[in-house]
Structure 1
Amino acid sequence: MNSPDLHLEPADGRTLLRRSITSQSRRMLGAGALTCGHQVGEAAVPLLIGVIIDRAVATGDTVALITWLGVLIANFAMLSTCGRLGFQVGFGASVNAALDLRVRIARRALDARGSSQAQLPGAMVSIATSDVRRLTAVHYQLAQGLAAVVGVIVAGVALLAVSLPLGGLVLIGTPLLLLAVRAISSPLEKRSSAQQEQAARAAGVATDLVRGVRVLKGLRAERAGSAQYHRASRLALGASVHNARTEAVYSASVIAINGCFLALVALVGGRLAMDGQITVGQLVSAVGLAQFLLEPMATFGAVFATLAAGRASAVRIAEFLNAPPAVTGGSAAPASANPGAIVLNDLHGPGLNGVDLKIDAGQFIGVLTTEPSAAATLCRCLGRELDPEQGEVVLDGQSLRDLDPARLREVVLVCPHDPDLFTGTLTDNVLTSAERDEDALHSALAAAGADQVASMLPHGLDSEVSERGRSLSGGQRQRIALARALVRDAPVLVLHDPTTAVDTVTESSIAEGLRRNRAGRTTVLLTSSPALLSAADRVILLHEGRIVADGTHAELMAQQSTYQEAVLS
């Protein structure tokens, strides 16, 4: 079922929740109607039992007994069917709404313009799973709530038929009961929001620590990482405990309120029976209806609790979806003539302080930065994940600010320092399209030294890679990722430290393969590796955010002490 309302302009949490409900309104109405049938059938059970007592048992009429027992059996069959189908349709509404939201979250996460509010991977997973689940649980609970209202009305009318005082008590007391339950649900919503936020932060920290466990071990920073997660998890635990206490108080309060109300109904009904104003069967029906009311009234509490958690999650989802893009503007396509000429004009940003640089099309250039932030900023600016604070980047005469980021990345491919691999075979991880070009594949594998990785695995290129490539060593992952970048054959390729986990001999072979594979196309290599820098046509040295030297690797090694220290450190 299409849900166009969900994909309109940005909305706050309340509006997002409303649109999500509206998008599944037909399913929810169907589920509500079926569940109402179930509730009517449940309410009819004590009435039918009372009728059987008054018209069959008390009179000894066998035919009446058989007839009304048949009606009771038919009623059970009806309420069972309605309950089962109502659950299926209501649950389907929740599932479809969750699918719509997760698709939208995935689109936002993959938006070519990025997001100005960086999210830890674990926090994004929490939003797409836990928060979506809490929000879409509202769909099912609202259908249950509608059925609970109908059940209370049916029970109230039935009690009016049995006795006006009993019916009046229920019809007057139920709205007051609802107001009381709603009033005590407000603290739960606040605590639920805080708990979800802390849980997402703990999940984000855990995910990042797992991803960087090798780095932590290399730096012997396991204790620092453990302490960081301990702090985050303790905050999450504290928020969860506070939330659990609030839920416990809320649940106990709802049960107490419901119990007092039902006790009052039973007390009034018993008094009427003692006075002879109602029959034995009517007394049984009244007590049965009073017990029946426990279920729909408990449902009211569940609906309000679910709404409280759903609204809190809707706010978090809306904040993620509405976060401004990291880069704005630009819809033009890159020029097709002489692709690959890059000019940096007075570039400012983290680690950069007025960089002016011209790179000719087809040039293989190395860039050595003495500040890590400078290399990261260059990568992000060249891939237009970030617009510079001042100055501009020009590709073939066009400012990157004027180009559509998605189209730009068809021409400029940036391979970050820590690229991820995915579950699948080696071939699946290297190829980037359904079309398989054997020559391009083997050329990229050889240039990156990834053919050696395949030869060491039991099934070669068909060997399975685990999630994030954890079944491979760091050097093997880097070579597979490099082959993946090379097989794209992009006009401009930007590589950031692609061989930090590779041994020296293999690194020298990769340097030769890179130069051979990228002949005639622009390549920007940000690295401090002497093997890779020696393969470049020219090398740029960035120190304190500025270009301080420009020449070949051999020239800079002979003339620049800063360059020597950076390469040999």
Structure 2
Amino acid sequence: MGTAKQVRRSAVGATDLSGRDVLRSSVTGQRRDVTIGVLLGAGHQAGEALVPVLIGVVIDQGVAKSDTGGLLLGIAALAVVYVGLSFSFRFGARAGERAAETAAHRLRIRLVGRILAPQGGADSGRLPGELTNIATEDAKRVGAVNMAVIVAVAALTGLLVSAVVLVSISVLLGLVVLLGTPLLLWLGHLLSKPLERRSEAEQERAAQASGIAADLVAGLRVLKGIGAESAAVARYRQTSSESLSATLRAARARAWQNGIVLALTGVFIALVALVGGRLATQGDISLGELVSAVGLALFLLGPLSEFSWINSELAQGRASATRIAGVLGAVSAVLPGADRLPQPVRGGVRLRGVSYGTLRDLDLDIAPGDIVGVVATDPADATALLLCLARRSDPDSGSVELDGVPMTTLDPADVRTAILVAEHDADLFEGTLTGNVRAAAPPEHDIGPALTASGADEVAGTLPQGGDTIVTERGRSLSGGQRQRVALARALAADTPVLVVHDPATAVDAVTEARIAAGLRDIRRDRTTVLVTTSPALLSVTDRVVLIEDGRVAGCAAHAELVRDRISYRSAVLS
């Protein structure tokens, strides 16, 4: 059955999504702005190419032939071209920037949506800081490909106009440009390959460093408490050094590519000027045409040097797009089902022959409205049970049912509207205390009872502005016990038919713990509640307690009875 489950998962995860798909959707999704940017950019480069041509015409007509009217007409034409250049550059650049930023923004939304999707799987094997790096830096680099496309088309337009003009002046000059330009572009593409590889490694290392840094900051108090600061700093220093080395390698590749392309471009421009000069000395072209040819040769330095930047942006964009595709195309942890939740949800939970992680053929029945304690002698058993009840993972064998309906046939989002699993290390959000609690509550729901039952009302009473006091990110401005009480209040305010709470009072004193136990019993009366804990105060208010040993149910009775009859239970809850 485990093999069949793996096959189903691989079919659901969009593992065939490639970096090229991400780039294509990023550009086509902004086709309007990209098109505007391309047209205006092409017009700008065409105008830039015409400037030396017009100067050559002015020299031939106004200077060589002493034609005052032609001179004035040429100057007027130059003025018109420069006005057009100004407007086309301004609005073309605006459209390009809009396309780049909008594409990056939409990618960030897609990434956050996939990471937070009920089916999960996107965060597997990735640190939170790494995911943040992908959603910021990588999304920005992929969005920048839109601008690179606009600049590429504009540069090609400038080259094409220049080639046409040069062919009209001299076939030989035109051939030099037409044959030399593709060769130069091909060499630039080859030179971008090492940069692409090193850029991908750079982003990987930077993401790992960000992830480790975020974890260290989050666990700073714990690290100080156990005296592990030096080990943590050493770990970060090593990762940061690896990130620095990858960045320097990418920078060297970028500098090497830019330098080589610039040198090749200079040789190419010198060749065009040399051919034009020989033609002028032989009398094959006029003075004005020579000026135009040299001016075009100098102009070509701009479009050709742009391709170095374009290749660099495309190389980094491809590397970032591959990393984004890895998140967006991640295999789902659980599969969505087609069945609907039974209405109303009564809250009966049943596990039949569940094997997952350390659990082995676990059978468990929880009747609607029961308050059941669960004591696991192995913390891994508790973790596996919580994952199955939250449907963050499906069991390898057996089934978890809600009101008789297997949860694998339900949509994970629907399951979580009926079953809330409040984990021990739940984080708070930046905002007010009451805002954190109200975030999970139904509209117009009175959160007062939840605050009272969890003891969070006492927390609010000790803060300068009560419930309106601002809580910093992840609740770091509160103590561990205060964070636990606010997180428990949030879970209680959600008022779901089934609530699973994991060790909600490990950081509070005995008096507060007893108050929380009584409050839980009162507020969750006639609502299914599962307390996964070893707290005697909490277990004493349950209808019964289930003891799990070696992945199986080893006993089920009242708390006092298990304390009397089970040595392993006494060791777990009274030690």
* TM-score, normalised relative to structure 2: 0.93
Letter of the 1:124 counterpart: L
Answering whether residue 78 of structure 2 is matched by residue 72 of structure 1, we say yes
Q: Per the alignment, do residues 337 and 185 of structure 1 end up closer, same or farther by CA in structure 2, a change over 3 Å counting?
A: closer
Deviation at 1:230, TM superposition (A): 2.4
Question: Which of 224, 237, 242 is equivalent to 2:244?
Answer: 237
* TM-score, normalised relative to structure 1: 0.94
Equivalent residue number for residue 289 of structure 1: 296
Question: Which of 110, 135, 151 is equivalent to 2:158?
Answer: 151
Question: Which of 253, 257, 277 is equivalent to 2:260?
Answer: 253
Question: Which of 96, 105, 108 is equivalent to 1:90?
Answer: 96
Moved more, 197-206 or 57-66: 57-66
Equivalent residue number for residue 129 of structure 2: 122
Q: Per the alignment, do residues 25 and 437 of structure 1 end up closer, same or farther by CA in structure 2, a change over 3 Å counting?
A: closer
Deviation at 1:107, TM superposition (A): 2.0
Equivalent residue number for residue 539 of structure 2: 533
Equivalent residue number for residue 330 of structure 1: 337
Equivalent residue number for residue 3 of structure 1: none
Question: Which of 355, 361, 379 is equivalent to 1:354?
Answer: 361
Deviation at 1:245, TM superposition (A): 1.4
Instruction: Show CA shifts across 1:323-352 (max 9, x none).
Output: 111112522223235612222222222232
Deviation at 1:433, TM superposition (A): 6.3
Cα distance in 1 for partners of 2:16, 2:340 equals 27
Question: Which of 492, 495, 505 is equivalent to 1:489?
Answer: 495
Equivalent residue number for residue 549 of structure 1: 555
Letter of the 1:548 counterpart: A
Moved more, 346-355 or 77-86: 346-355
Answering whether residue 182 of structure 2 is matched by residue 175 of structure 1, we say yes
Cα distance in 1 for partners of 2:451, 2:52 equals 75
State the secondary structure of the residue aligned to 2:499.
Answer: strand
CA contact (8 A) 1:156 1:171 kept: yes
Question: Which of 324, 328, 340 is equivalent to 1:321?
Answer: 328
Answering whether residue 211 of structure 2 is matched by residue 200 of structure 1, we say no
Instruction: Show CA shifts across 1:126-185 (max 9, x none).
Output: 221111111121111111111111101111122223333222211121111111111222
Letter of the 2:59 counterpart: I
Moved more, 543-552 or 379-388: 543-552
Instruction: Show CA shifts across 1:408-435 (max 9, x none).
Output: 1111111111112112222221113686
**1:402-551 mapped onto 2 (5 Å cutoff):** 402-432=409-439, 436-437=443-444, 440-551=446-557
Q: Per the alignment, do residues 493 and 119 of structure 1 end up closer, same or farther by CA in structure 2, a change over 3 Å counting?
A: same
Letter of the 2:385 counterpart: L
Deviation at 1:55, TM superposition (A): 2.5
Moved more, 201-210 or 246-255: 201-210
Cα distance in 2 for partners of 1:65, 1:122 equals 64
Deviation at 1:553, TM superposition (A): 2.4
Moved more, 66-75 or 192-201: 66-75
State the secondary structure of the residue aligned to 1:536.
Answer: coil
State the secondary structure of the residue aligned to 1:330.
Answer: coil
Question: Which of 397, 403, 423 is equivalent to 1:396?
Answer: 403
State the secondary structure of the residue aligned to 1:185.
Answer: helix
Equivalent residue number for residue 394 of structure 2: 387
Q: Per the alignment, do residues 504 and 433 of structure 1 end up closer, same or farther by CA in structure 2, a change over 3 Å counting?
A: closer
Cα distance in 1 for partners of 2:25, 2:138 equals 16
Question: Which of 560, 566, 575 is equivalent to 1:560?
Answer: 566
Equivalent residue number for residue 9 of structure 2: none
Equivalent residue number for residue 11 of structure 2: none
CA contact (8 A) 2:15 2:329 kept: no
CA contact (8 A) 2:196 2:319 kept: yes
Deviation at 1:547, TM superposition (A): 2.3
Letter of the 1:349 counterpart: Y
Identity across aligned pairs (percent)?
Answer: 48
Letter of the 1:171 counterpart: L
Question: Which of 34, 42, 62 is equivalent to 2:48?
Answer: 42
Cα distance in 2 for partners of 1:360, 1:59 equals 104
Deviation at 1:546, TM superposition (A): 2.3
Equivalent residue number for residue 227 of structure 1: 234
Cα distance in 1 for partners of 2:336, 2:413 equals 12
Instruction: Show CA shifts across 1:267-326 (max 9, x none).
Output: 222222333333333222222111110111112222222222212222211121111111
Cα distance in 2 for partners of 1:526, 1:423 equals 27
Instruction: Show CA shifts across 1:50-69 (max 9, x none).
Output: 22333224455555444332
Instruction: Show CA shifts across 1:446-497 (max 9, x none).
Output: 0011111111222222222222222222221111111111011111100111
**1:92-107 mapped onto 2 (5 Å cutoff):** 92-107=98-113
Q: Per the alignment, do residues 283 and 186 of structure 1 end up closer, same or farther by CA in structure 2, a change over 3 Å counting?
A: same
Cα distance in 2 for partners of 1:568, 1:210 equals 33
State the secondary structure of the residue aligned to 1:525.
Answer: strand
Q: Per the alignment, do residues 356 and 9 of structure 1 end up closer, same or farther by CA in structure 2, a change over 3 Å counting?
A: closer
Equivalent residue number for residue 4 of structure 1: none
State the secondary structure of the residue aligned to 1:293.
Answer: helix
Instruction: Show CA shifts across 1:61-81 (max 9, x none).
Output: 555444332322221111011
Deviation at 1:388, TM superposition (A): 1.3
Answering whether residue 14 of structure 2 is matched by residue 13 of structure 1, we say no
Cα distance in 2 for partners of 1:423, 1:346 equals 41
Matched length:
561
Deviation at 1:520, TM superposition (A): 0.8
State the secondary structure of the residue aligned to 2:424.
Answer: coil
Question: Which of 275, 279, 284 is equivalent to 1:277?
Answer: 284
Equivalent residue number for residue 372 of structure 1: 379
Q: Per the alignment, do residues 437 and 443 of structure 1 end up closer, same or farther by CA in structure 2, a change over 3 Å counting?
A: farther
Letter of the 2:418 counterpart: V
CA contact (8 A) 1:333 1:408 kept: no
Equivalent residue number for residue 5 of structure 1: none
Instruction: Show CA shifts across 1:225-244 (max 9, x none).
Output: 22332232222222222211
Moved more, 85-94 or 515-524: 85-94
Q: Per the alignment, do residues 173 and 338 of structure 1 end up closer, same or farther by CA in structure 2, a change over 3 Å counting?
A: closer
Moved more, 536-545 or 329-338: 329-338
Letter of the 1:334 counterpart: L
Answering whether residue 36 of structure 2 is matched by residue 25 of structure 1, we say no
State the secondary structure of the residue aligned to 1:385.
Answer: coil
CA contact (8 A) 1:10 1:321 kept: no
State the secondary structure of the residue aligned to 1:184.
Answer: helix
Letter of the 1:475 counterpart: G
Letter of the 2:489 counterpart: A
Letter of the 1:234 counterpart: S
State the secondary structure of the residue aligned to 2:447.
Answer: helix
Cα distance in 1 for partners of 2:222, 2:520 equals 26
Moved more, 554-563 or 529-538: 554-563
Deviation at 1:568, TM superposition (A): 3.4
CA contact (8 A) 1:338 1:361 kept: no
State the secondary structure of the residue aligned to 1:356.
Answer: strand
State the secondary structure of the residue aligned to 2:85.
Answer: helix
Cα distance in 2 for partners of 1:338, 1:131 equals 43
